[in-house]
């Protein structure tokens, strides 16, 4: 296990968590002394050792943090070509920024164009200029950086400059259905004083806010309206709170776009608790109103979903049958899965035929078409449409359904592996890029957020071959996640060496021996959970390679007699060990059935127990997987099983997608 105190001690020496590379020391010289001679290092007989540079860098950082400029200069002069020299330059700009900093900023932006920290310097400079109300200069440096605050300052600067063309831009920004940062207040106040805000714009923001269920914001916006629009907003709010009001058709008889929005909201809200009533009233309203097609389609999709969720599947089917635009929606898939639960194969085939052609041709629905034809013993018009022909077609693909088809046909899996060729010159070019040197050094030091930012900005400027090279280089470092990401960005799906790296081989082999879990199975879980991002944290709080929740980790560690602290979960070897121990518990609980254990790892064993206890006797395993209630868990199980096959291939072993024992789904 890594020594976590090493990372803590490193971070304490940093002046700022943001970092940058700068190719020369001139910026520091200009910032600190008119005479730049101090920073030129003495002639050296050999390039400085990287460990010495790292040591000098830490000392320079420490001195700068203490405002000890003399010591800082001494250590800075010894850094040579150390990749992280620009951290110091960035720290100086940030800490000493003033209106006199323009030359340093220009030099920095020019030298580091397109880099992560050029972005950070521009950001800091723009915020400073805004505080000083230097609007002309602000506009000269402004670029769209995806930040609302900076965008608001930019629009305000253009107002100050007398730009009369920005009304639509301000209106579009203001009407978003969310609260805006305080930096936008001055812009919006001035825009409103110049009569930029109209009832129509306020109504649009009101609708946007209600669509996102931000009711407090919507009520605030409603006070910006007057006359008829204020009445519309008040009625909308009432219907939202009391959807049964929508049954009083006389109140909603007005023919207008605003009333259509109110009616649609009421019907959708009523459908949450009374979907059949909501459908009845919607059909009456649709006969009386000429609804905008987008409002009509959205409402009918909502109704179909609510009907299916409340087991009114026939009503949902009838609704969809009347509307071609609904057939590519989520609801058709829901109806197919409802049919699968009860093995209603004729209905399943009928609903697959109702899908858009492109969806019908996916591996998933081709597989279920063939399964339905087999169950119904259907004779097809041509051999090309037969279930055997379909199985042969999808068995050529590296997918869960392709592997299932291969099992039915009794043939080997198609892995479609193809190594992407990258010239040595391209590898050398990418490896020597300053941004890549920065990313590597940051990653080695444990500065993961900054390392990822540098790598991300570097890749933005690369062509396809260079991106693949960056992925291969990152994998050579041991930064496996970036190899996977590079393949995604470059859409190189068939290079399995990079997409499915044999990461942490020794740790996985050791854990496999102690838990009796197959190594390819452990690999598959880690690959699916985090794509080997060792510092990964989910929104729910899961941590590390195998994405363990802290509470689960503590319980597992206690049962296994393993010393535990939550921060240990960010150590790859520790996380692999504990995650495998937890999976071993689940495998024991579910009698060695990986399908159920995988589902439990994702959704929790209590849910899996409930899902299994409610199924018909002898339900086929593929039906059970396809009808797992949670879409995330459904995809998770399919991916881990497929990844297990791929990792067995990567390790030179034979593997089976599903064992004979696993074809029986029961507790």
Residue 454: which of 119, 147, 115 has the closest Cα? 115
pLDDT of residue 564: 94
pLDDT digits (tens, 9 = 90+) for 469-523: 999 999 999 999 999 999 999 999 999 999 999 999 999 999 999 999 999 999 9
529 is catalytic: yes
Active site residue: 338, 466, 529, 573, which one? 529
Tokens of 374: 């087999």
Q: Is the pLDDT of residue 45 over 60?
A: no
Q: Give percent above pLDDT 90 in the chain.
A: 80
Between CA 186 and CA 189 the distance in angstroms is 5
pLDDT digits (tens, 9 = 90+) for 393-427: 999 999 999 999 999 999 999 999 999 999 999 99
pLDDT of residue 380: 81
Q: Is the pLDDT of residue 325 over 80?
A: no
Tell me the chain's radius of gyration from C-alpha atoms.
31
H-helix or E-strand containing 270? helix 257-270
Tokens of 506: 């020794």
Q: Considering the entire predicted model, what is its pTM?
A: 0.86
Q: Are 576 and 522 in contact (CB under 8 A)?
A: yes
Between CA 205 and CA 175 the distance in angstroms is 4
Domains 424-493 and 505-663 share a fold: no
Q: Are 475 and 503 in contact (CB under 8 A)?
A: no
Q: Are 343 and 331 in contact (CB under 8 A)?
A: no
- HSE at residue 311, side-chain half, CA atoms within 13 A, is 1
Confidence band of 324 (pLDDT split at 50, 70, 90) = confident
pLDDT of residue 22: 35
Between CA 552 and CA 534 the distance in angstroms is 18
- Average pLDDT over the chain, rounded to an integer: 90
pLDDT of residue 308: 87
Confidence band of 575 (pLDDT split at 50, 70, 90) = very high
CA distances from 525 to 2, 264, 485 (A): 22, 43, 17
Mean pLDDT score, 615-642: 95
Mean pLDDT score, 65-77: 91
pLDDT of residue 270: 97
pLDDT digits (tens, 9 = 90+) for 516-563: 999 999 999 999 999 999 999 998 999 999 999 999 999 999 999 999
pLDDT digits (tens, 9 = 90+) for 182-208: 999 999 999 999 899 999 999 999 999
Mean pLDDT score, 223-252: 96
Q: Is the pLDDT of residue 8 over 90?
A: no
The answer to whether domain 505-663 has CATH 1.10.530.10 is yes
Q: Is the pLDDT of residue 328 over 80?
A: no
Q: How far is CA 178 from the centre of its chain?
A: 21
Q: Are 523 and 508 in contact (CB under 8 A)?
A: yes
pLDDT of residue 46: 54
List, in sequence order, the alpha helices (H) in 49-114: 50-65, 69-76, 85-96, 102-111
Tokens of 304: 């179909």
Structural domain boundaries in the chain: 13-132, 343-414, 424-493, 505-663
Confidence band of 47 (pLDDT split at 50, 70, 90) = low
Q: Is the pLDDT of residue 257 over 90?
A: yes
Mean pLDDT score, 27-34: 41
* The dihedral formed by the CA atoms of 240, 245, 248 and 253, expressed in degrees to the nearest 10: -20
Q: Are 627 and 614 in contact (CB under 8 A)?
A: no
pLDDT of residue 18: 35
Residue 60: which of 51, 50, 68, 52 has the closest Cα? 68
pLDDT of residue 25: 38
pLDDT of residue 78: 93
Domain 424-493 carries which CATH code?
A: 1.10.1240.20
Q: Is the pLDDT of residue 39 over 60?
A: no
Mean pLDDT score, 24-52: 49
Mean pLDDT score, 229-236: 97
Mean pLDDT score, 376-399: 92
pLDDT digits (tens, 9 = 90+) for 273-311: 999 999 999 999 999 999 999 999 999 999 998 998 898
Q: Which is more confident, 92 or 157?
A: 157
């Amino acid at each position: 296990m890594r020594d976590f105190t090493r990372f803590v001690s490193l971070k304490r020496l940093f002046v700022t968590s943001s970092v940058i590379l700068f190719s020369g020391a001139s910026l520091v010289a200009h910032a600190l002394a008119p005479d730049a001679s101090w920073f030129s290092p003495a002639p050296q007989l050999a390039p400085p050792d990287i460990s010495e540079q790292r040591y000098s860098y830490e000392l320079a950082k420490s001195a700068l943090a203490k405002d000890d400029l003399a010591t800082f200069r001494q250590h800075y002069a010894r850094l040579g070509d150390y990749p992280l020299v620009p951290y110091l330059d960035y720290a100086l700009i940030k800490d000493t920024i003033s209106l006199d900093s323009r030359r340093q900023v220009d030099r920095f932006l020019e030298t580091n164009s397109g880099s992560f920290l050029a972005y950070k310097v521009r950001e800091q400079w723009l915020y400073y200029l805004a505080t000083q109300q230097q609007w002309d200069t602000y506009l000269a440096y402004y670029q769209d950086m995806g930040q609302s605050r900076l965008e608001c300052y930019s629009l305000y600067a253009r107002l100050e400059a007398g730009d009369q063309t920005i009304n639509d831009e301000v209106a579009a920004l203001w009407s978003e259905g969310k609260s805006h940062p305080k930096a936008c207040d001055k812009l919006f106040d001035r825009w409103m004083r110049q009569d930029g805000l109209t009832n129509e714009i306020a109504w649009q923001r009101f609708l946007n806010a209600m669509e996102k269920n931000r009711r407090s914001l919507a009520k605030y916006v409603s006070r910006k309206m007057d006359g008829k629009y204020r009445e519309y907003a008040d009625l909308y709010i009432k219907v939202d709170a009391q959807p049964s009001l929508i049954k009083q058709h006389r109140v909603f008889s007005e023919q207008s776009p605003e009333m259509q929005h109110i009616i649609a909201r009421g019907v959708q809200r009523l459908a949450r608790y009374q979907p059949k009533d909501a459908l009845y009233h919607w059909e009456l309203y649709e006969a009386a109103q000429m609804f905008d097609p987008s409002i009509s389609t959205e409402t009918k999709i909502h109704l179909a979903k609510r009907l299916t969720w409340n087991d009114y599947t026939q009503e949902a089917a009838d609704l969809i049958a009347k509307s071609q635009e609904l057939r590519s929606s989520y609801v058709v898939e829901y109806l197919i899965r409802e049919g699968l639960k009860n093995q209603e194969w004729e209905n399943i085939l009928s609903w697959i035929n109702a899908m858009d052609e492109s969806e019908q041709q996916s591996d998933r629905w081709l597989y279920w078409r063939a399964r339905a034809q087999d169950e119904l013993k259907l004779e097809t018009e041509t051999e090309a449409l037969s279930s055997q022909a379909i199985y042969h077609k999808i068995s050529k693909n590296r997918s869960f359904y392709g592997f299932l088809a291969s099992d039915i046909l009794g043939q080997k899996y198609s892995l479609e592996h193809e190594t992407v060729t990258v010239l040595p010159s391209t590898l050398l070019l990418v490896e020597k890029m300053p941004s890549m040197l920065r990313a590597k050094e940051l990653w080695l030091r444990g500065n993961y957020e900054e390392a990822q930012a540098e790598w991300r900005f570097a890749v933005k400027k690369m062509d396809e071959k260079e991106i693949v090279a960056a992925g291969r280089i990152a994998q050579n470092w041991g930064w496996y996640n970036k190899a996977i990401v590079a393949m995604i960005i470059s859409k190189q799906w068939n290079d399995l060496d990079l997409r499915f790296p044999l990461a942490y081989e020794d740790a996985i082999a050791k854990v496999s021996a102690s838990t009796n879990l197959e190594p390819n199975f452990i690999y598959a879980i880690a690959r699916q959970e985090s794509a080997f991002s060792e510092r990964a944290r989910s929104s729910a709080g899961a941590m590390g390679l195998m994405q363990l929740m802290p509470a689960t980790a503590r319980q597992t560690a206690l049962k296994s007699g393993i010393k535990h602290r939550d921060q240990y979960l960010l150590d790859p070897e520790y996380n692999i060990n504990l995650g495998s121990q937890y999976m071993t518990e689940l495998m024991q609980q579910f009698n060695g059935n990986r399908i159920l254990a995988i589902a439990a790892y994702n959704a929790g064993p209590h849910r899996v127990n409930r899902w299994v206890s409610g199924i018909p006797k002898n339900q086929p395993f593929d039906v059970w997987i396809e009808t797992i209630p949670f879409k995330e868990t459904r995809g998770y199980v399919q991916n881990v099983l497929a990844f297990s096959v791929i990792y067995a291939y990567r390790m030179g072993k034979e593997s089976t997608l599903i064992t004979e024992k696993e074809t029986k789904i029961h507790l």
